[in-house]
Amino acid sequence: MKNILQFLLCLAFLSLSDNALAQKIFSEGLIKYEVYVNDGNKPEGIYVIYIKGGNIKRELVMNNGFNNITLYNHKSGNTLSLNGTDDRKFALEITATELKEKNKRFENAVYTTLDRNKKIAGYACRANQITYVQGETANFYFTPDLIPQNESFNAMFPGLNGIPLEYEISSQGGVVMKFVATIVDIKAIDSKIFELPQEYKIVTKSELEKLK
C-alpha cells in the first residue's frame, strides 16, 4: 500500500510539472482579435495588443471610423490614451493611481469553470465565467498555455492563470462587443511602437476638457 501511494504521488507531481512546463510567459509579441458588435455575424473592427516586456500598446480600429490607441508603461504605471483630430492631437495621461481606482470594479472577481473547450488561434482554450462584486457576469475562453508577464495585461480578469482569447464587454449604452482572437504571434516587437508620436501633446483630464 505504501508503494502504491508513493507511485500515485509521483504521478501527481509529474502531472503538475508537465502543466507548468507547458505554460509560457507571454512577454513579447501580439494578439489580434476580430471585434463583433451585438451578436453580429461579421466582424466590425480589429483589436490588436502589442507587448514587449512591461510595455503594452492596445489599438482598436472600427469600421465606423472610431479608433483608439492606448500606451501603457510598466515602469511608471501610467497610460496614455491618444485622442484628437488631424489638426490637434492629444494624449490623455492616466496615472497609475487613477488606473488602479478605475480597475477597482474588477477586484475580488470569482471564476466558475464551465464544461466547454475549444481551440482559438491555435491554442486550446477553456470556458469560464467571471462574476464581479457588483453582480455582473461574463463568459469567456482563455488559454492556460500563455501567462501574462504582469497583471496589467489582464486588468479585467485579475488573477487569471492564462490569457483570454475570446470575451465580451458590455457598455452602459447596452452595446456588447465580442473579441475573438485570430492571431497569437510570439515574436520580436520594435520598441518604437510604444513611444508617443511627437505630434501628440500629453494632457491631463481637466486640460483635455478645456481644449474641447
Residue 55 sits in a domain whose CATH number is: 2.50.20.10
Give the structural domain span for 62.
Answer: 23-211
Considering the domain boundaries, does residue 176 fall inside one? Answer: yes
Question: What was the pLDDT predicted at 84?
Answer: 74
Question: What was the pLDDT predicted at 87?
Answer: 77
Amino acid at site 120: I
Question: What was the pLDDT predicted at 162?
Answer: 96
Question: What was the pLDDT predicted at 6?
Answer: 46
Question: What was the pLDDT predicted at 207?
Answer: 79
pTM here is: 0.85
Question: What was the pLDDT predicted at 9?
Answer: 40
Considering the domain boundaries, does residue 13 fall inside one? Answer: no
Considering the domain boundaries, does residue 2 fall inside one? Answer: no
Question: What was the pLDDT predicted at 3?
Answer: 46
Which residues of the chain fall below pLDDT 70?
Answer: 1-22, 172, 211-212
In DSSP notation, the chain reads -HHHHHHHHHHHHHHHHHHHHH-EEE-EEEEEEEEEETT-SS--EEEEEEEETTEEEEEEEETTS-EEEEEE-TTT--EEEEEE-SS-EEEEEE-HHHHHHHGGGGTT-EEEEEEEEEEETTEEEEEEEEE-TTS-EEEEEEETTEEESSGGGGTTSTT-SSEEEEEEEE-TTS-EEEEEEEEEE-----GGGGSPPTT-EEE-HHHHHHH-
Considering the domain boundaries, does residue 203 fall inside one? Answer: yes
Q: How many domains does the chain have?
A: 1
Question: What was the pLDDT predicted at 151?
Answer: 84
Question: What was the pLDDT predicted at 2?
Answer: 43
Question: What was the pLDDT predicted at 205?
Answer: 82
Considering the domain boundaries, does residue 148 fall inside one? Answer: yes
Question: What was the pLDDT predicted at 178?
Answer: 95
